[in-house]
Amino acid sequence: MTGHVAGLPLRIVIADDQASVRQGLVLLLDGLPDIEVVGAAANGEQALDLVAEHHPDAILLDLNMPVLDGIGAIRRLRAEHPDVAIVVLTTYADDSSVLDALRAGARSYLTKDADHADIARALQAAADGLTVFDPRVHETLLAATSAPAAPERTPAAPPPDGLTQRELEILRLIARGLTNPEIAAELYLSNHTIKTHISRIFAKTGSRDRAAAIGYAHRHNIG
């Protein structure tokens, strides 16, 4: 990933089928000194065309769009433009929408009650490789991963990215929202041992923080 060049405005594409929302986002975000809106699309296909034309740092997109919806657009973006950070901005914070978007490859997920400062921060963070969820989305993720059956679910394939079974077990507990001391108590290990395992998990999964690790877990059906 090439990433955003420090000191230059963050170049973004906006995709939303509602003209009033789309135009409002363009006005709000393009007026910020560190963001440049290079294109605005009314559906997923238009968004892909604009990304191919302008090569932005990030894209802000809705899930519910005609022609090609947000989930389909995210999958195509990940396959065709992996350097573009994907931030979802949508009305929906239900678990299926959040999980589908993260598994498709979205970096961050916000709901439309987020203000423009929160959106700008999420775009900047996503372009820097970080993951951002607003509080409603974070609650949805924790609820979706704390079901009683969750600890017994295992991926059909071997653990991704060289994760050991112990690291996979700890990543599942992180995705369920457990703190380091809680994980240590659950697995009868010391806090120091847990910290060491988490450092290795972050390194292997390319996660810079706990939120990114949770996003990684959902993209790989670990939870």
The domain of 172 spans: 147-219
5 lies in a domain? no
Asked whether the beta carbons of 148 and 34 are under 8 A apart, the reply is no
* Burial profile 56-81: b = 16 or more Cβ within 10 angstroms, e = fewer: bbbbbbbbebeebbbbbbbebbbeee
Asked whether the beta carbons of 198 and 187 are under 8 A apart, the reply is no
Of the candidates 142, 172, 207, which is a domain's last residue?
A: 142
Taking Cα atoms as reference points, which of 196, 207, 25 lies closest to residue 110? 25
What does the CA dihedral 26, 66, 144, 85 come to, rounded to 10 degrees?
Answer: -40
79 lies in a domain? yes
| pLDDT at site 154 | 45
| pLDDT at site 148 | 52
Number of residues written out for the chain: 223
28 lies in a domain? yes
The string of DSSP codes covering 139-173 is HHHHHHH-STTGGG---SSPPGGG--HHHHHHHHH
Of the candidates 102, 127, 142, which is a domain's last residue?
A: 142
CB-based contacts of 133-139 (< 8 A; 24+ apart in sequence): 133/108, 133/109, 133/211, 133/214, 134/109, 134/110, 136/93, 136/111, 137/93, 137/98, 137/109, 137/110, 137/111, 138/211
Of the candidates 142, 162, 186, which is a domain's last residue?
A: 142
Same structural domain, 164 and 212? yes
Q: How far apart are CA 202 and CA 130, in angstroms?
A: 12
pLDDT along the chain (223 residues), means of 10: 68 96 94 94 97 97 92 94 93 79 88 88 89 75 58 56 90 90 88 92 91 89 81
Asked whether the beta carbons of 43 and 17 are under 8 A apart, the reply is yes
4 lies in a domain? no
Same structural domain, 97 and 125? yes
Number of domains, the chain: 2
Residue 138 sits in a domain of what CATH number? 3.40.50.2300
Same structural domain, 124 and 155? no
Same structural domain, 83 and 187? no
Same structural domain, 177 and 213? yes
Same structural domain, 95 and 196? no
Residue 152 sits in a domain of what CATH number? 1.10.10.10
| pLDDT at site 70 | 92
Same structural domain, 182 and 119? no
| pLDDT at site 3 | 56
